[in-house]
Amino acid sequence: MDRCKIAHLTSRGLISVAGPDAEHFLQGLVTNDMARVREGSAIHSGLLTPQGKILFDFFVVAAEHGYFLDAAQAIAEDLVKRLTFYKLRSKVDIAYPVAGREIAAIWGAMKAPPPAISVYQDPRFPELGARLIAKRGGLAALAGELGCDVADEDDYHAHRIALGVPEGGRDYAYGDAFPHEACFDQLHGVDFDKGCYVGQEVVSRMEHRGTARKRIVIVEGAAAMPDGGADITAGSAVIGILGSVSGRKGIALVRLDRAAQALAAGHKILAGRSVLTISRPPWARYDVPVEGESGSA
């Protein structure tokens, strides 16, 4: 069996949300159910615009006096500002950054972690592995305790891309994508039975009507692919946008109906000059059209 790998996620930041009202405060804002957060576990969640589009995505992790939010550093300060805007009279303390801590990802079989280390299964898809919050600078020693090889963040993203799991800011644009388009419904990022939260009515309507036409797919190029952000085209039409790329594999947000029509008409799907094949991520429950099939997705 391959040794596990551990990588410091330098692009991630840690926000503390503590205080007696922390759970109630977050429950009224985020897409998932805070009741699911327990010691040693986490939820994948987001904070939306009133129109139902994703402003921020993050993990919520139980902490000693409240919760940690594991979020992209690029959005962390804006997330703190938005949380502070909603705070009003809630008895909540919001702090960023959390001093002396760092976030890492682990994948592969590892030994049992030391009790003092906060390790939690990635809630999106088990094959992604786990994440941990550790003391800054101690990753090499911790790797030895866990029986892991130290990897870098690019190795983690190659692993994530191979599984087709999207991340905000890389595979969909903040403020532009609905949770269904980012596959929150498939990757345990939204609870359809909880009470109200910002943007909830739009998300519920998309779920009940089944109106999500853009979805995440895995793409593989016949040649080197362009950088993320490139248009994905079929014939003269733009049918999606390329996200994260690792070698000749990547993640894309694609209009599945248009992809099906293009393939049925015999058009190639392209990113730049690279001809793409598209496939369904292993966790997805929606159909993805493939070359040679007719009809719509």
What's 289's domain CATH number? 2.40.30
Residue 211 is given by DSSP the state -
Asked if 149 and 253 sit in the same domain, the reply is no
Tell me what the mean pLDDT of segment 46-66 comes to: 96
Q: What is the pLDDT of residues 197-206, one digit of tens each?
A: 999 999 999 9
| Token pair belonging to 155 | 């190795």
Residue located via tokens 């015999």: 266
What would the mean pLDDT of 43-66 be, rounded to a whole number?
A: 96
State whether 111 and 217 are in the same domain.
no
CATH number of 130's domain: 3.30.1360.120
- Indicate the helix (H) or strand (E) that contains 279: strand 274-279
Which residues form the domain of 263? 213-297
Integer CA distances (angstroms), 263 to 44, 233, 234, 271, in order:
34, 11, 8, 15
CB 153 within 8 A of CB 143: no
Q: How far apart are CA 194 and CA 198, in angstroms?
A: 12
* List of residues 6+ apart from 263 with CB closer than 8 A: 234, 269, 289, 290, 291, 292, 293
Looking at the structure, do residues 13 and 148 belong to the same domain, yes or no?
Answer: yes
Helix, strand or coil, per DSSP, at residue 160:
helix
One domain for residues 159 and 224: no
For residues 150 and 14, membership in a common domain is answered with: yes
DSSP 196: -
113, pLDDT greater than 80 = no
% of the chain residues with pLDDT over 70: 97
Contact yes or no for 292/262 (Cβ under 8 A): no
Q: How many domains does the chain have?
A: 2
How far is Cα 51 from Cα 201, in angstroms, rounded to an integer? Answer: 9
41 with 146, same domain?
yes
pLDDT class of 295 with cuts at 50, 70, 90:
very low
**Least trusted range by pLDDT, from 108-122, 205-219, 275-289:** 108-122
Compute CA 201 distance to the chain's CA centroid, rounded to the nearest angstrom.
22
pLDDT digit string, tens, across residues 231-271:
999 999 999 999 999 999 999 999 999 999 999 999 999 99
Q: Largest Cα–Cα distance in the chain?
A: 60
